[in-house]
Amino acid sequence: MAGDLLSFVLLSFSSMIIVINPLAATLIYVSLTETMDRESKVRTAWEASRFALIVLLVFTIAGGFILQLFGITIEAFRIAGGLLLFGIGMEMVYAKTSRTKMTATEKYEGQEADDIAVMPLAIPMITGPGAITTAIVLMNEAMDMNVLALLIVPLSVVVSILVTYYMMKNADYITKRIGQREYRAVNRLMGMLLIAIAVQFIILGIQTAFPLLKGG
């Protein structure tokens, strides 16, 4: 039991950190706030992180109910989520900003907007479809374990957002020491890990939906 809980803790924290991708969020944040003063940049980082956290926690806690409301089984959602994460992971491997995170149009509109904290930074850059999907799937798996596991998923969400906020707040210091070459290397490594997690989601979804395949 302790081993299963430890594995779930590692899966939860690694999944949320990778899919939120604080480094990519920080680089986008830098490009969108380059004309702001220091105080405005910090306020934007805080507001984006706060809003992203609220949205992601809502889906973490109420995601299962939302699926039931629309008659979607967790097996179907797990498989669909795995495919989505697989696509995000592939784009990360090729050092691209995922289109499920932010499109070129959203980035352009964000640069023109007075308030970029909510859109596009909080949604969809920090809390995008991949993060929401991962949170719902992990929360469903936690329900089959124990109360402690149920606390792990929201905690992993909070920690991931806090890491993102810290990196955005210190973006000037980070970007001076991380060039495009280093970013691509880290992004590819995280992409490979995300692909492995996505495949695991798909395998579990298929095994749960078709028990005979697991027995075979």
User: Which has the higher per-residue pLDDT, 49 or 201?
Assistant: 49
Give pTM, 2 decimals.
0.78
**Domains identified in the chain, total number:** 1
Q: Is 72 left (phi over 0), alpha (psi -120 to 50) or beta?
A: beta
Q: What is the DSSP letter of 97?
A: -
Residue 186 lies in a domain: yes
pLDDT confidence of residue 97 = 57
Q: What is the DSSP letter of 72?
A: -
Q: How many C-beta neighbours within 10 Å does residue 112 have?
A: 7
Residue 37 lies in a domain: no
Q: Which two tokens stand for residue 131?
A: 């993060």
Rounded mean pLDDT of the chain? Answer: 83
Residue 112: partners with Cβ closer than 8 Å, 6 or more residues away = none
Half-sphere exposure of 52 (CA within 13 A, CB side): 34
Q: Which domain holds residue 145?
A: 11-16+23-29+51-215
pLDDT digits (tens, 9 = 90+) for 67-109: 888 888 878 888 888 888 888 788 878 866 555 555 545 544 5
For residue 60, pLDDT over 90 is answered with: yes
Cβ atoms of 52 and 122 closer than 8 Å = yes
Cβ atoms of 215 and 81 closer than 8 Å = no
Helices (H), 70-114: 74-93, 104-112
Residue 140 lies in a domain: yes
Residue 153 lies in a domain: yes
Residue 71 lies in a domain: yes
Q: How many C-beta neighbours within 10 Å does residue 184 have?
A: 15
Residue 152 lies in a domain: yes
Cβ atoms of 122 and 32 closer than 8 Å = no
* pLDDT, average across residues 42-70: 92
Residue 1 lies in a domain: no
Q: Which two tokens stand for residue 56?
A: 């992601």
Phi and psi for 214 in degrees, rounded to 5? Answer: -70, -40
pLDDT digits (tens, 9 = 90+) for 146-192: 888 899 999 999 999 999 999 999 988 887 777 777 777 877 887 88
Q: Is 95 left (phi over 0), alpha (psi -120 to 50) or beta?
A: left
Residue 34 lies in a domain: no
